Chains A and B, each alone.
Chain A
């Protein structure tokens, strides 16, 4: 039984390995890795929540083919991304550039944490204030404490 489980697991994993794309041929392994990296990080302009690797749209196939050609020509990752951005805009790359519009993506969470800290600091003062008791109140507190013991 145990052997059967291991065996079926092995078959399962073997299937996963052989399912990689061998449609695109590369001269070196580095180029192939760059291609896979780029097709994960570039976004399909038609089906917007998928990357090139996931998408079956015609445009994704075209872009993948272009990435393949550019990588094979020996272009670097930055060059391929710049090529795509020039045609499809910043939108095509999942990592947004920092500019006056997108800076809020980083600033807002920081501001949020900062304001939370500030609020905490301001409230701590109130709880630290000394409590003043007159003699009658003090006596009552002592009584209550004793009764507890």
Chain B
């Protein structure tokens, strides 16, 4: 009686460990819940990327369901998702860019704002322009408040200006279907 227990217990423990580690193979270590979900957008005052004299605050998101896309011309994955974002925009989604730049930063590169604007115009002409406008996150302070770890990342913001989704990585048809569409449809009040 004791003997089979001695053999069975380690086997059982091994089995549990096996299941635990096996699951680990398919989990994404970058997937962790944003602590800002259901929270209002953090307060900010930031200029428009193209017309720096224009300023935006957290109130610009009121009244519309917005996709806030964090991007930059230096980011390769952003270039890959631009055509798909353009398609979403043509379907009627309101997409706003949060321009996340490193080249202005003396730590990473030296570029003038005019040069960045030129590169942005060029990039968008080439791959499609999904953005209603671009908020220029000059010192990346808003990105820091939003818990952004890099680009691309996308937030879904509801009519009250509350953050409903935070996606790290590119937005593609699969991510849209599985993650964004159900929430987006329920916000638009037209369940499919």
Contact = CB atoms under 8 A, between A and B. Distances in A.
Interface of A: 45-46, 48, 57-59, 61-63, 66, 85-89, 91
A87 B35 contact: yes
Given A48-B29, A48-B30, A87 B149 contact: no
Q: For chain B, which range describes its interface: under 10, 10 to 19, 20 to 34, or 35 or more residues? A: 20 to 34
- Tell me whether chain B's interface is mostly helix, strand or loop, or mixed: loop
B146 interface: yes
Contacts of B182: none
Interface string B1-22: 0000000000000000000000
A87 B33 contact: no
B91 to A, nearest CB: 31
A87 B32 CA distance: 12
Contacts of A88: 35, 147, 149
Contact of A89 (B35, B108, B140, B145): B35
Given A48-B29, A48-B30, A89 B150 contact: no
B107 interface: yes
Nearest to B140: A62
User: What are the 5 tightest A-B residue pairs by CB atom distance, in nearest-first order?
Assistant: A45-B149, A87-B147, A89-B35, A46-B149, A88-B147
A52 to B, nearest CB: 13
A91 B33 CA distance: 10
A46 B30 CA distance: 8
A61 B107 contact: yes
Interface string B137-152: 0001001111111100
A89 B147 contact: yes
A62 B144 contact: yes
16 contacts: A48-B29, A48-B30, A58-B108, A58-B150, A59-B148, A59-B149, A61-B107, A62-B144, A63-B144, A66-B144, A87-B36, A87-B146, A88-B147, A88-B149, A89-B32, A91-B32
Contacts of B143: 62
Contacts of B148: 59
